[in-house]
Structure 1
């Protein structure tokens, strides 16, 4: 549909054009009736919307001219005026053939509804009244009445206005000057518009906001200076205000002439003329761009602070003046096992399951014991004095999952104010496990120190013990069993053996013991020890052996199994007063990462569990804390070395295993040792170790020992076993003997620690003369020459000093017979 819009005001035409085109129709514009008539004649429209008061040709003349044209008279004609609103104006228009007479302003939706009604009526082909068109005199009379009346009104208004203006011009100029000063003093943009949306005036802040001068803005509408979408929005808001009156406030986003966006708040109100009719609006623009930016920054900071609070790697709580929790982070909830809603209102001690808080409702400050609690004192001091505290160490007894535990924290406090109300921000770093690790580290340092000492003296000490043991054995062989001195020699031999065992224990718990691991079935190894263990613990104590069905393969030195079980059983025996029971068990267990994450100290993998439990007196927490400490003992002086459990601990660690102990006073003790399960197939697993009776031979042995007494004693032992011995006290002497020896040398028996070079280096030199030369190392302490962290390489043959003649004979024969 083509609609002709005739109005001398461009803003009015633009508003009507927008409405017409928005409904899917075509709009044609004309500035006055004469131009509109020319357009209509050249291309008749489907509807005409015209103002009444226009220059050149007004709306009445334009309507009459349209109705006088046969091809145009049927076109619906609508008056849309704000000037001619009297009844005679409407009667004249209707008598000239107008279809409707509408008054400005009117909402676009209402205007379009009127137009749709007019179009529906036009479709009914209503007879056109032609009598007035033919009678020019009558038309002129009526037209004159309308115009003259309007002119008379205007003349009267002008006379009155001129009279008043003469009196008020000076005051108006003064008032305008004052208002301009006042407006320009206002720091926010202020503006006012007429009913058509034209800017009538504004202050300097408005110009600065839009980035344009007064000349570019005055008389313009939002359609001239803003985007169409924003202009439509503002136009609708203005019409809403004109219709409803009063005041209006709303937020919006606006761009100035240069395209710079601003977030603003519009405050608008209508103003009226002297008759009280709405004649425009006045408004202010509050630029909140910076405020919104700061609000967004504040929101982001709040998010970040909340994220920091919730994800802090330590417990955080906000406490009020009564030390009650007002807020807690996620770690606090996780640590206490409580939801945040359950924690709110609790005191710190209650949330941490402190025994005093649980025993009495007056805990956490009122209970006498609380006065000495570092947690309570630190929080109270910060709240009362404002003094901050940083990483104060404090411990409390807590009931965790039904068990009493000692928890240790590093406490930090600071006082903060929220709405002038003081709060204490408390952070708790749980260092319970850290302190346990520190204790383990100190234990390791002690073991390292003792181990270093043991290693330093073991070589010389074992050499001396070897001389005593060897010569005692040799002397006993030469004596008649009936001679009284034989008893003295047996005592010497027994004491020397106990001294050697003590040295081995020192090296074992310090993980300096030289071992030769091999694959073995733990069940068979333990089974072979049961008789010996029964003799060890005595007849009053029952020993129960509960092996797991099937094999329990592990790889370790069998002698270490002996040491573990002997020490644990002796320890259990001493804890039982009178009749009791010791149980030894084996089980296959597997720990996955999830289980280990919930059980500190456990390592994922497959293990063979060796358990030794008793029904003895049990242990308290203080004893448990020092259980594996070297030289710590609860026995009477002279009845315990304090090395038994330390030895067990050292052996366990040396074999990459771990140990867990459970005990309570009066409820016995259970030692669980988790040995890595050997997974590869190994034929050695089913081989049972059996030591044949000492046998000698006639091979040639090159003996190297820098201790003369050991050299002499070992030479005698080997000689009595039938071997030919080449004895040397230094590596250089041994090399000379080897070079000068005419026949084959079958075995090198050498000490590991020598003055000029170590035993391994000597053997490597000698193999250049005797490529097939076998070697048997001997030492009281090897260092890392032939063993890595005390574990012998698979190719190494080794005999530990001190040794007996029988042990030496068996080891030499084994090496000589091996391939």
Structure 2
């Protein structure tokens, strides 16, 4: 990545200078032939192509930059609100835009221009995934990531973060390419429709800002990108943050955990057993129903919203038909607002967005059970 960054940065810098000469002379030439409609049309074509190339070099320079240029204490809510008209113009008329911004959002130290570019690239990515229309949801919130989360996601450190979530109800991302989406020049778009640098720029911004970005997608259902930016030291941090894990609520109930990702299932099982619960596990909906039929003592169904086969909502409905007093806590890669847009608002009350920390899981389980 460093080598590619140095190479693209050097080429882009020189190419940008050349483009400046081309664009400047084209503008000058246009004024000379203003009476010749055919010549003006040709010149405008050249100008549009040169401006597209200038945008590409801007992306290359943004990708190759290792350090942010203008770090200031920023409220990203204000930046998003200032981009309101730009966001609406960026998406198609068939795409609805919703913003849900936290009232008490913490501050972060970033380059606001960098942040604008990153958000715009996420929005463009979402727009392109919704060729037939859909919903775009932009959310902000304060997020505390604990040691258990960092253990699963070693690229980030435990601490307090400002989270930006950008969700769409588009085509989703196939599982076999999820690991490549932040690679420079990797794109699934048709030739001429994308450079493969948009998400690389967002990744670069996150790294320069000492933050973290992760994508969650269900093919055919949509995608959520979560960007975590460190909370600014300008605001006092909670002194007991790192002791939160010692205060986790515990219980003695029985919980059935359903997840089609083996590693996450094993982690949830180990964590919940440490909190005192009796834990049963299943990797799909049918296996979960079989366990429920065998064991009527299960108090809570902790179910991931799975993309294939029987999804989490169907399983929850069938399970509660058999056992009406069963409590249900669904988890999803989407935020509750994104779930609502997908037409499943009735389930969003007891929905925990993935990824979740052990603290969030423990507290939400006790909330649902109590």
Measured against the shorter chain, the TM-score band is 0.5 to 0.7
Find the residue that maps to 2:85 and give its secondary structure.
helix
What is the distance in 2 between the residues matched to 1:521 and 1:657? 15
SS at match of 2:193: coil
Separation (CA, whole Å) in 1 of partners of 2:18 and 2:188: 32
Q: Secondary structure at the match of 2:20?
A: helix
Q: What residue number does 1:621 align with?
A: 175
Aligned counterparts of 2:72 and 2:36: Cα–Cα separation in 1 = 43
Alignment of 1:591 with 2:145, yes or no, is yes
Give the secondary structure class of the aligned counterpart of 2:141.
strand
Aligned to 1:499: 53
Give the structure 2 partner of residue 640 of structure 1: 194
What is the TM-score of this pair, normalised by structure 2? 0.57
Are 2:113 and 1:559 equivalent residues in the alignment? yes
Where does residue 570 of structure 1 map in the other structure? 124
2:156–2:211 CA contact under 8 A, matched in 1: no
Q: 1:482: Cα distance to partner?
A: 5.5
Q: Which of 201, 215, 218 is residue 661 of structure 1 equivalent to?
A: 215
Instruction: Note the aligned Cα RMSD (angstroms).
Output: 2.5
Q: Partner of 2:98: helix, strand, or coil?
A: strand
Corresponding residue number in structure 2 for 1:461: 15
- Structure 1 runs not aligned, ≥5 long: 1-446, 682-819
Picking from 535, 538, 557, the partner of 2:92 is: 538
Contact 1:568 1:645 in 2 (8 A): yes
Report the CA distance shift for 1:502/1:570 in structure 2 as closer, same or farther (over 3 A). Answer: same
The 1:448–1:595 alpha-carbon spacing in structure 2 relative to 1, beyond 3 Å, is closer
The 1:588/1:633 distance shift into structure 2, 3 A limit, reads: same
- The answer to whether the 8 Å contact 2:173/2:219 transfers is yes
Distance in 1, Cα, partners of 2:145 & 2:68 = 30
| Partner SS for 1:603 | coil
1:524 counterpart = 2:86: no
Paired residues in the alignment total: 234
Structure-to-structure mapping, 1:63-102, within 5 angstroms: none
- Partners of 1:518 and 1:489 lie apart in 2 by 41
Question: CA 1:557 to 1:599, structure 2 compared with 1: closer, same or farther past 3 Å?
Answer: closer
The 8 Å contact of residues 630 and 646 in structure 1, kept in 2 or not, is answered as yes
Q: Alpha-carbon deviations, 1:19-74, whole Å to 9, x = none?
A: xxxxxxxxxxxxxxxxxxxxxxxxxxxxxxxxxxxxxxxxxxxxxxxxxxxxxxxx
Deviation at 1:583, TM superposition (A): 0.5
Is the Cα–Cα contact under 8 Å of residues 507 and 513 in structure 1 kept in the other structure?
no
In 2, distance between residues paired with 1:547 and 1:516?
24
Matched, 1:581 2:135: yes
Task: Give the Cα separation in 2 of the matches to 1:473 and 1:557.
Answer: 32
The 5 A counterparts of 1:75-474 are 447-474=1-28
Note if contact 2:68-2:111 (Cα within 8 Å) is conserved in structure 1.
no
2:162 to 601, 608, 626: 608
What CA deviation, in whole Å up to 9, does each residue of 1:94-134 have, x standing for no partner?
xxxxxxxxxxxxxxxxxxxxxxxxxxxxxxxxxxxxxxxxx
- Please give the alpha-carbon distance, in whole angstroms, between the structure 2 residues aligned to 1:655 and 1:565: 14
CA distance in 2, matches of 1:581, 1:511: 32
CA distance in 2, matches of 1:547, 1:558: 17
**Separation (CA, whole Å) in 1 of partners of 2:148 and 2:206:** 24
User: Using a 3 Å threshold, how does the CA distance of structure 1 residues 593 and 514 change in structure 2: closer, same or farther?
Assistant: closer
Corresponding residue of 1:675: 229
Point out where structure 2 has 5 or more consecutive residues left out of the alignment: 236-370
Does the aligned pair in 2 maintain the 1:455–1:512 contact within 8 Å? no
Deviating beyond 6 angstroms after TM superposition, the runs of 4 or more aligned structure 1 residues are none
Task: Describe the shift of the 1:535–1:482 C-alpha distance in structure 2 as closer, same or farther (beyond 3 A).
Answer: farther
Q: TM-score, normalised by structure 1?
A: 0.27
Contact 1:479 1:486 in 2 (8 A): no
User: CA 1:625 to 1:459, structure 2 compared with 1: closer, same or farther past 3 Å?
Assistant: closer
Q: CA deviation at 1:472?
A: 3.4
Contact 1:659–1:673 under 8 Å retained in 2: yes
What's the CA shift string for 1:195-222, capped at 9, x where partnerless? Answer: xxxxxxxxxxxxxxxxxxxxxxxxxxxx
